[in-house]
Amino acid sequence: MTRTRRRIAAGSLLAILLAAAPSVVAPTSVVATTWTDLAWPLAALFLVFEIQAWISLPGKWARIAGERVAQATTAITPPDTSSYLDAVDSALGLPPEVRAEIRAELSDHLDDSIEALEAEGLDRARATREALARLGRAEELARQLRAAHQSTRRLLAGAAGGVWSAGVGMIQGYLAVLGLIALSLNLGVLILQRSVDAAGVSWNGIKIGPSDLETITALLCVMAWVPAFVAGRRCVRASSRLSRRKARQLRGFWAIAGVAALGWLVTFQIGVQQSWLVVPCELGIPVLFAAGALLRPDASLHLPRSRSKLALVPAAILVGGLLMGTAVPDYGSGKDSLMSWPSDSVLGYDRVAPEGYVPCAPGLPPMTTDGRCVVPLGGGTLGINDFKGPWAGQWLVDGLKQAPFTSMRIEVWRALAGVSAWDMTDTVGFAVDPRSAAPYLIEPATLDGYFRIPADLGSHHQRRWLVFVTGVGSDGRRYRLGDPLWFGTTFTGTIWDWLTASD
């Protein structure tokens, strides 16, 4: 079996394992259920890039460029030709494998030439001098050979090969890291499950798996660091090999190109949740690519045995962080009971409409334990991305038609900095005025309420909002009607949008 076939077989096996392992190892884990959705597409992608081993595009470009892989020769060079060959070698300015090939070829030529001249009757010294003279000055020969190798054709092949190698290296590396972490996570979950079971602790109330979008996004970005570093190295190496130029001649170009291309990609094109945690992780990708291109890309990456174990430390931190840091208590249906809405004094309104003050609509059960009717959300959905641009929606008000409220409006309150989803209690602050308020229009025919908030909530870094309906009662005071709803405007734009957003 050839090396290529072995590589494909191993890759295919790994792809199948990636797809099957989580559900086999830890079928009840959260990771298994989420991984199952991703595994087959990822496995298919992995197979595609394994097939690349068959196609071997850089190899094709190499053939197009007329390149051949250097092979060692065992030519025996007379001592007095060595200095000539050394002079040619040092003036060539080509990659080491190409220089070795040229040196071997010239050495063979000198051997033949000297032998032929000796056969003509010249002594060894004169034959050597004559053979060297026929080749001409070493520097001139090296210059001509360099010009022959560093053609525009090869430069273009090097550019294409560099881009291809970087892309393939990035995707293959990312999939490999993703797969390894998924397998490690499942193994960790399995161990944890067994340990918890052995300790007789109920699983009820414990949830494993990243539930914080910000953390997940940051970890996914960090997972791209190593592939980016390797991609930078592979890019320079492939480009150097194909273009017949030294790696140190090319690495600056590829570092700048990588920072520009990947920087542009992560800054302007990839819209994920942004935060002070995520942005540096995203920008780390082009930085690591540049580091891979600049830091001796033609040297081996082998660590000394004594330090090789250090490479496991970041991997352990990453996997441990995913496993331990995201194991958050899941309070299930009781979660809401841990939260209380801001009191009227915090929000500055007189009071919540008392029980029975807002009669419930027929068919709409009370939503709170104290019997008040909650104005149910209907119509427009309030997902993260709905905060992009003016916010419009529909809020059903069946039942409110009977309520003696006037000047009804929808209000959006902004949480102060540092308020998290779990802090919406009486003790934490919200802005003293609504960020936005809009008239609440009731359609007489359908009794549906409509609102349209002109603000673009998604352009703000602020992440927590309270949204609720108020109305002025018959006593002239404004009441909060029902419980408010809170939303997190997690910023899902690009880095650029996030950096330029107002606070």
Closest approach of Cβ 94 to another protein, in Å?
10
Q: Could you give the CA distance from residue 265 to residue 286 in angstroms, rounded to a whole number? A: 9
Contact between 154 and another protein by CB under 8 A: the answer reads: yes
Q: Could you give the CA distance from residue 269 to residue 287 in angstroms, rounded to a whole number? A: 17
Q: Could you give the CA distance from residue 178 to residue 180 in angstroms, rounded to a whole number? A: 6
Contact between 148 and another protein by CB under 8 A: the answer reads: yes
Contact between 249 and another protein by CB under 8 A: the answer reads: no
**CB-based contacts of 464, cutoff 8 Å, min separation 6:** 414, 415, 419, 420, 421, 424, 486, 487, 488, 489
415: helix, strand or coil: strand
Task: With contacts defined by CB under 8 A, name the span among 5-13, 135-143, 180-188, 251-259 that binds another protein.
Answer: 135-143
Looking at beta carbons only, is 233 or 244 nearer to another protein? Answer: 244
3-state secondary structure 199-212: HCCCCCCEECCCCC
Q: Which two tokens stand for residue 358?
A: 């807002």
Site for another protein in 37-66 (CB under 8 A): 64-66
Closest approach of Cβ 147 to another protein, in Å?
7
Q: Could you give the CA distance from residue 154 to residue 222 in angstroms, rounded to a whole number? A: 35
Q: Determine contact, residues 323/208, Cβ cutoff 8 Å.
A: yes
Looking at beta carbons only, is 94 or 166 nearer to another protein? Answer: 94
Contact between 106 and another protein by CB under 8 A: the answer reads: yes
Contact between 91 and another protein by CB under 8 A: the answer reads: no
Looking at beta carbons only, is 132 or 176 nearer to another protein? Answer: 132
Looking at beta carbons only, is 145 or 266 nearer to another protein? Answer: 145
Taking alpha carbons only, the member of 347, 477, 319 closest to residue 413 is: 347
Task: With contacts defined by CB under 8 A, name the span among 130-138, 277-285, 432-440, 493-501 that binds another protein.
Answer: 130-138
Residues 347, 349, 350, 353: is their CA dihedral positive or negative?
negative
Looking at beta carbons only, is 156 or 396 nearer to another protein? Answer: 156
Looking at beta carbons only, is 243 or 492 nearer to another protein? Answer: 243
Q: Which two tokens stand for residue 186?
A: 């499942």
Contact between 114 and another protein by CB under 8 A: the answer reads: no
Residues 172, 173, 179, 183: is their CA dihedral positive or negative?
positive
Looking at beta carbons only, is 128 or 492 nearer to another protein? Answer: 128
Closest approach of Cβ 107 to another protein, in Å?
8
Q: What strands lie across the sheet with 448-453, from one edge to the other? A: 377-378, 391-396, 448-453, 441-442
Looking at beta carbons only, is 245 or 480 nearer to another protein? Answer: 245
| Site mask for another protein (CB under 8 A), range 156-195, x = bound | ----------------------------------------
Q: Could you give the CA distance from residue 367 to residue 392 in angstroms, rounded to a whole number? A: 24
Q: Determine contact, residues 330/207, Cβ cutoff 8 Å.
A: yes
Contact between 113 and another protein by CB under 8 A: the answer reads: yes
Contact between 119 and another protein by CB under 8 A: the answer reads: no
Q: Could you list the residues that contact another protein (CB under 8 A)?
A: 64-66, 68, 71, 73-76, 101-102, 104-106, 108-109, 111-113, 134-137, 140-141, 144-145, 147-149, 151, 153-154
